[in-house]
Structure 1
Amino acid sequence: MDFSFNDEQRLFRETLRDFVDKEIIPVARDWEQSGRYPTEIVATMRELGLFGLAVPQEYGGLGADTVSFVLTFEEISRGWMGIAGILGSHSVSCFMIARHGTEEQKRQYLPRLATGELRTGIALTEPNAGTDLQGIRTTARKEGDHYVVNGSKMWITNARYANPLPVLVKTDPTASPAHRGMSILLVDTTSEGFTVEKDIPKLGYKGTESCELRLDNVRVPASALLGGVEGQGLRQALSSLETGRVNIAARSVGIAQRAYEEALRYAREREAFGQPIGDFQAVQIKLAEIATQLQAARLMTYWAASQMDAGVRMDAESGMAKVFSSETALQCALDAMRIHGGYGYSAEFEVERLYRDAPLMAIGEGTNDVLRTVIAKALLKGKAHVG
């Protein structure tokens, strides 16, 4: 089993790390606290071609392997997890269009999404339907060569910048089971009746917006039905969220890495009782635990990514990586804060932001408790193996 990078992946990581160190880390704390949108950082991500990560090369994208995909979100989250959110929702949507879209849809959208000229996200969650996506209430009624869409969506990343925006709807609200009546429409967000109601205030995950949307008799051409066939929406969404889980696992590794770096630096520099606090055994034990859990999460995430590149179905494996890495991020952020003592509670230190960003990783792309049941069912059915 080879855990080393090839030359292309190594160079890619070096380029990302240089970008993060020079353009994200110096401004992250101030911009996050002021609520400033990271326009300049987004521009550099466009220049680096990062909006084309999940777009095949034939449509002008990088067509990146999954390990390189993971490296991107790990490195950017090490600098500022909110920035990774801007790229994450866009990439999941691009992956979905590339895998499930018609040829016309791919050619219409993917080249401009790859350059960042267009940006996108994915609108699944509703006020009364998060984990239970079959419970959505947004409907799309067919009228001639258009659908008329009514409903609302919550927690939508990139909502103010996305166009098109894939929206999960019920084209047949009476279908049983419900998923047979669910479809995804590629909605033009400049359409009459499409409204971004508000930005939702958040504990962390700042730098990108998370919005509530309303769709009031929005007319969408029938040609915007993803894949051209009704009733495939939930399957299309869930297959794309498999990529989203390794995305979240990678972001978690980035948060844990930064927590480790900040804790190690502080332990070397901070003195108490005439010596660096890193000389005290209690601090050493916490540093060792952070480093050990971090490296385990990293290897599990890289393993899941490499399995995806090998074409293996990854429901359980991506879920394992997401669960373990996100729990690691939570614990590492807390332990780094404890090493900082009172200063860890101050907004002047990075660990305070890491502590606020980490909890979302255990919630996003399927809560950890739900994913544990997904993993268990795969094991019981013999669709996943350990050992």
Structure 2
Amino acid sequence: MTSPGILGDLITINNTTTQILPLTTTILPLCVFNILWPSKICSHTLLSWSIFHELMSLDVISFHCGEIIFSYSVELTDQQKEFQQLARRFAREEMIPVAAAYDRSGEYPFPIIKKAWELGLVNGHIPQEYGGLGLSIFDSCLITEELAYACTGMQTAIEANSLGQMPVILAGSDAQKKKYLGRMTEEPLMCAYCVTEPGAGSDVAGIKTRAVKMGDEYVVNGQKMWITNGGKANWYFLLARTEADPKCPASKAFTGFIVDADTPGIQPGRKEMNMGQRCSDTRGITFEDVRIPKENVLITEGAGFKIAMGAFDNTRPPVAAGATGLAQRALDEATNYALERKTFGKAIAEHQAVSFLLAEMAMKVELARMAYQRSAWERDQGRRNTYYASIAKAFAGDIANQVASDAVQIFGGNGFNSEYPVEKLMRDAKIYQIYEGTAQIQRLIIAREHLGRFQK
């Protein structure tokens, strides 16, 4: 392929050379092309309809700064469809029937998790060399959306494994991966990501938990808070300060550790009774003179902050997928109800006020799905996806809340009643604007990444 430039340049498609046509022909607006092919596009590159149709027929071609490159296709592979259908059947047949009961009791859904693990719906992202399926981020997102459609409380309990494992996948030694990832493919074990503290949520650099090296061990003291799977995990990823100097930059002040949950000195607190996602296990954890062997340090002392933050580029797309799954469920429930409920002699879906609200909900869900798929695809290509991951996480989290609230509105009084499913969806949705980086933190990241493109 040759690289297109301004009008009159030649591009080669399927071994056929075509000229970019002059402005006398019908020109496809750049904004439309940019939406269909979400890559950067040179402002001087104009495409005629004829060339556009040829490019579209290839399905995997896009423009990037004036060059033709391969891009992603929205058509799923047969394998992806199989995983999606497997997760969908499991969600409908196993999760939805018991979701309300688990929400009322707050009981940890281990029987459901065990069944999901047996089907390969848990830990699929673990590399094949350590016993996993080695699924891509995109593939994992497809599964996550389907499970979240049924119950985000159960899905979050499952997804917490991904967050806890990701630092080990990204930064663990071969021995660490074999020991801690390999065993999770042999039995349904859980893990957790221990970073947040009572005084350090969004401000990760404010972490107070200390790890002091003593011989061949590190002695840890401190308290963590809001740890998903905190009381059910078999091991933790722990971020602790190893540099006493408060002026030391975060990039050098913290170290990442793998900590076995049965290590003496670890004291899980009580399970928190939260607004939503109630069957997910969330609690504080106290570390009192906990001794960790130096072999459990990830990479080296001082590398922990980068490891902990780097995990989010891989885990925020699935979080966005979970929010999208919840939003899709809310839309489906509201649509079915609107077609059945009658007022003034006709279904409320036939009233423009309701039909337009459903249309807005549908638009939001589709765009949230596109956002998480783009962010996952970028990461799977080996590219830094921080910008897209934060966009997906922020947008899908907001959409989940908006669509769930609109679903309650369409249900009217019934939507406010726990006998109907949408009030649970509304409660469950809120956390998507809080965990794994608040909606405000995502906007800080997006602004930083966006402005950085112009300030180079």
Question: In the aligned structure 1, how far is the partner of 2:264 from the partner of 2:380?
Answer: 41
Question: In the aligned structure 2, how far is the partner of 1:13 from the partner of 1:3?
Answer: 14
Whether 2:157 is the aligned partner of 1:98: answer no
Aligned residues: 384
Conserved 8 A contact 2:165-2:237: no
C-alpha deviations, 1:310-357, integer Å up to 9, x for none? 111011111111111111111100110000001100111110001001
C-alpha deviations, 1:164-206, integer Å up to 9, x for none? 2111101112161133120111111111110012112210021
Alpha-carbon deviation of 1:162? 1.1
- Greater RCO between the two (CA within 8 Å, min separation 6)? 1
2:280 corresponds in structure 1 to 208
- Tell me the amino acid that sits aligned with residue 347 of structure 1: S
Question: In the aligned structure 2, how far is the partner of 1:356 from the partner of 1:304?
Answer: 26
2:128 corresponds in structure 1 to 57
C-alpha deviations, 1:96-122, integer Å up to 9, x for none? 211101111111111112344432110
Alpha-carbon deviation of 1:51? 2.7
1:199 aligned counterpart, secondary structure: coil
1:245 aligned counterpart, secondary structure: helix
1:166 corresponds in structure 2 to 237
Conserved 8 A contact 1:378-1:384: no
2:12 corresponds in structure 1 to none
**Residues 383 and 187 from structure 1, CA distance in 2 versus in 1: closer, same or farther, beyond 3 angstroms?**
farther
1:340 corresponds in structure 2 to 411
Corresponding residue to 2:431 among 347, 357, 360: 360
Whether 2:140 is the aligned partner of 1:83: answer no
Question: In the aligned structure 1, how far is the partner of 2:205 from the partner of 2:287?
Answer: 19
Alpha-carbon deviation of 1:11? 0.9
Corresponding residue to 1:225 among 288, 291, 297: 297
Alpha-carbon deviation of 1:280? 1.0
Question: In the aligned structure 1, how far is the partner of 2:442 from the partner of 2:264?
Answer: 38
Conserved 8 A contact 2:167-2:237: no
- 5+ unaligned residues in a row in structure 2: which ranges? 1-36, 38-72
In the superposition, the TM-score normalised over structure 2's length comes to 0.82
Corresponding residue to 1:67 among 138, 144, 152: 138
1:360-379 equivalence runs, <5 A = 360-379=431-450
Corresponding residue to 1:26 among 73, 87, 97: 97
Corresponding residue to 1:186 among 258, 262, 266: 258
1:48 corresponds in structure 2 to 119
1:267 corresponds in structure 2 to 338
CA RMSD across the alignment:
1.5
- Tell me the amino acid that sits aligned with residue 297 of structure 2: L
- Tell me the amino acid that sits aligned with residue 120 of structure 2: G
**Residues 345 and 167 from structure 1, CA distance in 2 versus in 1: closer, same or farther, beyond 3 angstroms?**
same
Alpha-carbon deviation of 1:207? 1.3
1:129 aligned counterpart, secondary structure: coil
% identity of equivalent residues: 36
Question: In the aligned structure 1, how far is the partner of 2:318 from the partner of 2:440?
Answer: 18
- Tell me the amino acid that sits aligned with residue 380 of structure 1: L
Whether 2:107 is the aligned partner of 1:36: answer yes
**Residues 145 and 375 from structure 1, CA distance in 2 versus in 1: closer, same or farther, beyond 3 angstroms?**
same
Q: Once structures 1 and 2 are overlaid, which stretch shifts more, 218-227 or 256-265?
A: 218-227
Alpha-carbon deviation of 1:38? 1.4
Conserved 8 A contact 1:60-1:111: yes
Question: In the aligned structure 1, how far is the partner of 2:228 from the partner of 2:447?
Answer: 30
Alpha-carbon deviation of 1:384? 11
- 5+ unaligned residues in a row in structure 1: which ranges? none
Alpha-carbon deviation of 1:246? 0.8
- Tell me the amino acid that sits aligned with residue 156 of structure 2: G
1:313 aligned counterpart, secondary structure: coil
Conserved 8 A contact 1:301-1:321: yes
Alpha-carbon deviation of 1:245? 1.2
Pair member with larger Rg: 2
Conserved 8 A contact 1:101-1:226: yes
Corresponding residue to 1:248 among 309, 319, 342: 319
C-alpha deviations, 1:247-281, integer Å up to 9, x for none? 21111101100000100010011112222111111
Whether 2:71 is the aligned partner of 1:7: answer no
Runs of 4+ in 1 over 3 A off after TM superposition: none
1:197 corresponds in structure 2 to 269
Alpha-carbon deviation of 1:39? 2.2
1:381 aligned counterpart, secondary structure: helix
Question: In the aligned structure 2, how far is the partner of 1:104 from the partner of 1:383?
Answer: 43
Conserved 8 A contact 1:52-1:60: no
Conserved 8 A contact 1:297-1:324: yes
C-alpha deviations, 1:198-251, integer Å up to 9, x for none? 112210021111001101111111111112x10010100111011221121111
Conserved 8 A contact 2:313-2:379: no
Question: In the aligned structure 2, how far is the partner of 1:119 from the partner of 1:111?
Answer: 12
Q: Higher helix proportion, which one?
A: 1
1:144-155 equivalence runs, <5 A = 144-155=215-226
